[in-house]
Amino acid sequence: MATAIQWRRGTTAQHGSFTGLVGEITVDTDLDTIRVHDGSTAGGHRLAKFSEIQAGDITGVTAGDGLSGGGTSGAVSLALDLNELTAAAVDVSADSIALIDGGDNSSKKESIADFTVAIAGTGLTATAGVISSASAVFLDPSSDPPFLKTISCSGVIMTFLNCVFKIDDIN
């Protein structure tokens, strides 16, 4: 014959005056449920029966700005969809951008002003989100890989990608 294990058991009232050992399980014979004890709480912690757990009442998930997906039944999901975002007037000194931090692979935000300071290279200055240079800076497509070159000039007209900019008083 198989061996049977019978847990300590008692009524709800009896449990109210009983403090079981840490991890001890007892049976509440009035409520037909299990109690788990922590060694200090009289009566332990009553576990809910499946019939006592109420189903959720979510009737739909709606994707807002920047999200796609959603639904009203079954398994639904949401995804980031940058094409769904609305346009905004950029305030370089106050706005932020989202990025993935390569150090810990987590999502973070950074102010545009701080971002421009971080990407300003040699000969460039970033102040309040605006990158500037005291010299003309251009991309040298003849180098492999292409890189930025800096030149000093005065009263010279330079062409960048079919756009003409007049540069004055640069030393």
Greater pLDDT, 53 or 161: 53
pLDDT 10s digits, 71-95? 888 888 888 877 777 888 888 888 8
* 110 phi and psi angles, rounded to 5 deg: -140, 140
Q: Count CA within 13 A, CB hemisphere, residue 127.
A: 3
* β-strands 25-28, 33-36 pairing: antiparallel
Asked if the structure places residue 63 within a domain, the reply is no
H helical segments located in 8-125: 12-16, 112-119
Q: Cβ-count burial of 88 within 10 angstroms (0-12 exposed, 13-18 middle, 19+ buried)?
A: exposed
Q: Residue 144: give the domain boundaries.
A: 133-171
- 20-46 pLDDT, tens digit per residue, is 999 999 999 999 999 999 999 999 999
How far apart (Å, rounded) are the C-alpha atoms in residues 41 and 16? 9
More confident residue, 88 or 157: 88
pLDDT given for residue 139 in this prediction: 62
The two tokens of residue 52 are 């006592």
Predicted confidence (pLDDT) per residue in 108-143, tens digit:
888 888 888 887 776 677 777 777 765 655 566 666
Does any domain span residue 69? no
Query: What local confidence, expressed as pLDDT, does residue 65 receive?
Result: 80
Residue of 83, 49, 45 whose CA lies nearest to 63: 83
Instruction: Specify the pLDDT at position 134.
Output: 59
pLDDT, one tens digit per residue, over 52-69 is 988 777 788 898 888 888
Nearest to 138 by CA among 157, 156, 159, 119: 159
Counted residue by residue, the chain has a size of: 171
The whole-number pLDDT of residue 160 equals 45
Task: Give the chain's domain count.
Answer: 3
Q: What dihedral angle (degrees, nearest 10) is formed by the CA atoms of 153, 159, 160, 161?
A: -170
Tell me what pLDDT residue 20 has: 93
CATH at residue 32: 2.10.10.30
- Which residues have a Cβ under 8 Å from the Cβ of 85 and sit 6 or more positions away? 65, 66
In a domain, 155, yes or no: yes
Q: Is residue 77 part of a domain?
A: no
- Classify residue 14: in a domain, yes or no: yes
Instruction: Tell me what pLDDT residue 82 has.
Output: 75
